Amino acid sequence: MTTNIFLNSYQQPENKLTYNFFAILEILNSNLFIDYLTSKQTSEKPIIGIKTVYGGGETNPDGSFDIRLSNAKQITVFYENKTNRRGLDAEQLIGHLKQCSESDLLLVTSPRKSDIDIVKEIGDPRIVFKTWQEISLYLRKNFQDNPIVQQFVDYGKKSGEFDELGEIYFDDIKIYCEYLKINFDLKINSIFQNFIHDIDLSKFGFNNVEFHYADACGRKGAEISLKNSENSTYNQFGAICLYYDTDDHGIIFKQNLPELAFFFDINPDHKNLLQTDNEFREIKNNLVEDGFESNLDNELTPNPWRLLTYRETISNFTILNVQEIILFSEKVLTIILKNNATKHKYFSQFIKAEEL
């Protein structure tokens, strides 16, 4: 191998990220990943060469890798990596393109979505642009069984290299100012603490449940547990909450804003019972058609504790109060009943035994 992730001698964060990224490319050597990065159809084991250091040119790319296409032709993918410390430079990209043949590509990665505007301005189809958030999500979803890949994703997240820290947009400023003006945290905490006392799920048959307020793992609100949890088959639990931080759950916001969410969760040690249960799969499919999202096969997030969720972005609500959250909860449970989900033991154990 050209790279060795354990011998990464670079000190500059940009160079360290570039080298680690190339190491992941070489370790995987996956046509699926290369196809995603380049929008080309490649052969199996497409990477046939990697160059990590460039010099002597008018501008120097951060590296390149040679790939074999599905038609057996070979091209070079030149690479330019930007982080939140350094913005993209049009002249630099134009200089890189002078080294590219007509069939070669220039892959550009950046944490800033706005950098796509520079790429569009240049208007050269040889440039392929990806944000680090997009790459991170792709790797998290498609290579969740590869521990080194997941370590790379965690490294990017914890180091902040994948985060769009270098820019704050006007809409973000407006949202934050409103957040401060209304003391959002204090109000939402109070709303959910009152909600716990007002919510009544008995009319939906959910009598074997109890609530407590919690603010943990990126969600705050009413955590749901079984009263008779010692008899549960799946160690199931859930939450009706404000989902405000994606780091733990790994579920990306729909509109880059916090969400009102209803989570149905499970202990991962028992998840295989549902994964091999055709009846539950049918129920899951019906729920998904009615707006739920499934993580039965860890397709939504690698976090195995998550099973099903129903989410709405908070900007969809003209007002947030106890009554609105009750209406949201009843909407979700109506979907559960409509699809006869309570016939299955996962849901029926939220109901008292004598009512089964």
% of residues, the chain, pLDDT over 90:
61
- Of 141-155, 166-180, 229-243, the least confident: 166-180
Same structural domain, 20 and 97: yes
> Which neighbouring-strand residues pair with 65?
50, 77
DSSP, collapsed to helix, strand or coil, labels residue 22 as helix
* Sign of the four-CA dihedral 202, 346, 261, 289: negative
Task: Identify the band that residue 166 occupies on the pLDDT scale cut at 50, 70 and 90.
Answer: low
d(CA 4, CA 27): 9
Is the entire prediction scored with pTM above 0.85?
no
Instruction: Quickly count: other Cβ atoms within 10 Å of residue 209's Cβ.
Output: 19
Residue 115, domain member (yes or no): yes
Exposed/middle/buried for 153, CB within 10 Å: 0-12, 13-18, 19+? buried
Q: For residue 310, is pLDDT > 50?
A: yes
Q: Of 50, 52, 66, whose CA–CA distance to 19 is shortest? A: 52
Average pLDDT, stretch 105-125?
A: 92
Residue 201 belongs to some domain of the structure:
yes
Domain count, the chain: 2
Alpha helices per DSSP H over 123-270: 132-142, 147-159, 170-181, 184-198
Same domain for 209 and 269? yes
Residue 28 gets the label, from left (phi > 0), alpha (psi -120 to 50) or beta, of alpha
Q: pLDDT for 3-15, tens place per residue? A: 887 777 777 878 8
Cα–Cα distance measured from residue 42 to residue 36, given in angstroms and rounded to the nearest whole number: 10
How far is 289 from 295, CA to CA, in rounded Å? 14
CA distance 219 to 240: 9
CB 88 within 8 A of CB 82: yes
Q: Are residues 253 and 293 in the same domain?
A: yes
- Same domain (yes/no): 126, 263: no
Provide the angle, in degrees to the nearest 10, between the axes of the packed helices 13-28 and 31-38.
130
* Element spanning 64, H or E: strand 63-69
pLDDT reported for residue 58: 60
Per-residue pLDDT at 354: 42
CA separation for the pair 222, 200 (Å, rounded): 12
Residue 169 lies in a domain: no
Same domain, 193 and 90: no
277-296 per-position pLDDT tens digit: 999 999 999 999 999 999 99
The overall average pLDDT reported for the chain is: 89
**CATH number for 202:** 3.30.1460
Domain shared by 44 and 135, yes or no: yes
Angle at 306 between CA 336 and CA 199, to 5 degrees: 50
Give the 3-state secondary structure of residue 194.
helix
* Domain presence at residue 165: no
Domain-located, residue 293:
yes
Whether 208 and 96 map to the same domain: the answer is no
Residue 174 belongs to some domain of the structure: no
Q: Give the tens place of pLDDT for each residue, 230-283.
A: 778 899 999 999 999 998 999 999 988 899 999 999 999 999 999 999 999 999
Domain that holds residue 56: 5-159
The answer on 213 and 327 residing in a single domain is: yes
Residues 200, 143 within the same domain: no
Query: What is the distance between the alpha carbons of residues 93 and 21, in angstroms, rounded to a whole number?
Result: 20
